[in-house]
Amino acid sequence: MAATLALAGCGGGSEPSANPSAAGSAAGGPSGTLKVNWGGFPDSWAPGAEMEAGYMRVPYETLVALDAQGQVTPVLATSWEQTDKALTLKLRENVVFHDGAQFNAEAVKANLESVRDGKTAFAGPLKVIESIDAVDDLTVRLNLASPTPSLLTTLTTRVAPMASPKAIAAGTVAQTPAGTGPWAYDAASSTPGTRMSFTFFPKYWGGPQSVGFQTIQLFAIPDDNAAAGALSSGEIDITDMDPAMLERIKSTPGIESVAYPAIRNNPMFFDRGPGGVFADADVRRAACYALDTSVVTKLEPDFKARTQHFAEGETGYNQATAGYTHDLAKAKELYAKAGNPPVKIEVIAAPYNAKQFNVYASQLAEIGMEVKVQTAPPPQYNSTWNSGRYALGLGSNDELTPFDWYKAWFAADAPGNPSKTESPELKAAADKAIAAGTSPEAAQLWGEVTRIISDEALTCGHLAGEELVVWQSQRVEGAKAPSQPWETNLINYRDLKPKGE
């Protein structure tokens, strides 16, 4: 990550082969159908929506990507130059969207503005872009309000998939994705709520040699038992899976799997504004000390407890931040100090984190807080858990840089901060870190931001977990962990091909 941030702050990029993602592509062009299950479909396919990477990276591409070494590489942008005042991108020629719209500087402008200016999950990190200039058809300049060396890294993530500006303007992109990727949505071959079909796009800029499969079908099988049965019977080729379920089917011929770090998970106190349930920092601290993440790590062995969002060696890590070790006596003491205010709230969980949230609810009950957990399908959960409807949330934070993490959740105008509340101390520390840009002091200053977030108990109970992806190797080859870090429900689609081809 340090290497990535350094590159993001330097002066340019270089053009590699025609398609940097095409290693391992099939010699004869795409063929066959890849059937993938991620448990449910996004509520919206619009840029800025909370769609997981396993969906987004089928029809959409980003301007740049991260390779296996964490280096920023060209995709739809072929080169770039960044200063403290602007990021200028040169764009790939002869790229068209699935609906026929042209990919150019105006299309980039339309996409970034729609995410930044809309009520989107990822608006926060793009607020630093003051204005966007289409310098010419294939050159776009992002004018920055302050030095932001991590912006290029941000553009590799789910924050900014490139969708057709025509579909964005019409509003159809929410239900009918139209990107520049190798596979275009095929409504005629899809079954609403059950299967979404994407077929190789004949005008794809990377050409037919860039991918192995002609068609990708996404399925919505939320139950692990049913998904395991579908994998074993050949109804699907790839699925995410619980480790316990893998143990039950791993003797099935051809079953292979990969686990990769994908989840940074922590409770978030959303209702912390004046008069809010969690307005008092001591109430938040009491809740943090009441949580015992070790119980979750025993239930979910792929989870590891952390003291903070960033790991040692990453920008934003603060060695002096110890987090909140489970201490029930201290939790009760802090809650009493705050006057034992009534905390009676309802929260939302998805099937994959309901067990964890119920553990936390029972632990908070030990100090007198009443938390009722309701479980909803993943699409409903993804679109509402951090919307401000609930006082407390539990979800993944996949931000790669401290700037993005702060701008996504803790700044006064952050999309993940519905209370719109930020302490003067946190704002001053963040402003100082942002102003430091790429200077040697920047890492230490971002560590100070992390310390304040922890001290104010804006979030706690940090866990890092893995995504487990399972496939049938008798039907698919080329599967491995994706290079893009901290993204769930993802496999390296472009490198996959039918077995034996």
Helices (H), 305-441: 328-337, 354-365, 378-384, 402-409, 424-436
Sorted by where each starts, the structural domains of the chain and their CATH numbers stand as: 2-220+473-498 (3.40.190.10), 261-464 (3.10.105.10)
* The model scores a pTM over 0.85: yes
- d(CA 146, CA 439) in angstroms, rounded, equals 14
- d(CA 185, CA 12) in angstroms, rounded, equals 34
- What pLDDT is recorded for position 402? 97
At 12, phi and psi to the nearest 5? -175, 180
Q: Which of 386, 390, 377, 301 is nearest to 343 (CA)?
A: 390
H/E element holding 88?
strand 86-91
Q: Which of 281, 385, 296, 375 is nearest to 335 (CA)?
A: 281
- What pLDDT is recorded for position 195? 96
pLDDT in tens, the chain (501 residues): 333 333 333 444 333 333 333 333 445 689 999 999 999 899 999 999 989 999 999 999 999 999 989 999 999 999 999 999 999 999 999 999 999 999 999 999 999 999 999 999 999 999 999 999 999 999 999 999 999 999 999 999 999 999 999 999 999 999 999 999 999 999 999 999 899 999 999 999 999 999 999 999 999 998 999 999 999 999 999 999 999 899 999 999 999 999 999 999 999 999 999 999 999 999 999 999 999 999 999 999 899 999 999 999 999 999 999 999 999 999 999 999 999 999 999 999 999 899 999 999 999 999 999 999 999 998 899 889 999 999 999 999 999 999 999 999 999 999 999 999 999 999 999 999 999 998 999 999 999 999 999 999 999 999 999 999 999 999 999 999 999 999 999 999 999 999 987
143 DSSP β-pair partners: 86, 131
- What pLDDT is recorded for position 14? 35
- d(CA 194, CA 186) in angstroms, rounded, equals 14
Burial of 497 (0-12, 13-18, 19+ CB in 10 A): buried
Could you tell me if 500 and 65 are in contact, meaning their C-beta atoms sit under 8 angstroms apart?
no
**Size (the chain), residues:** 501
- What pLDDT is recorded for position 12? 42
- What pLDDT is recorded for position 501? 73
- d(CA 374, CA 358) in angstroms, rounded, equals 9
| Strand 215-219 with 33-37, pairing | parallel
Residue 314 in tokens:
């990453």
Residue 242 in tokens:
């619980």
DSSP reduced 3-state for 82:
strand
Q: How far, in whole angstroms, is CA 268 from its chain's centroid?
A: 16
The DSSP line for 442-480 is HHHHHHHHHHHHHHTTSB---EEEEEEEEEETTTEE---
Q: How far, in whole angstroms, is CA 263 from its chain's centroid?
A: 9
- d(CA 325, CA 158) in angstroms, rounded, equals 32
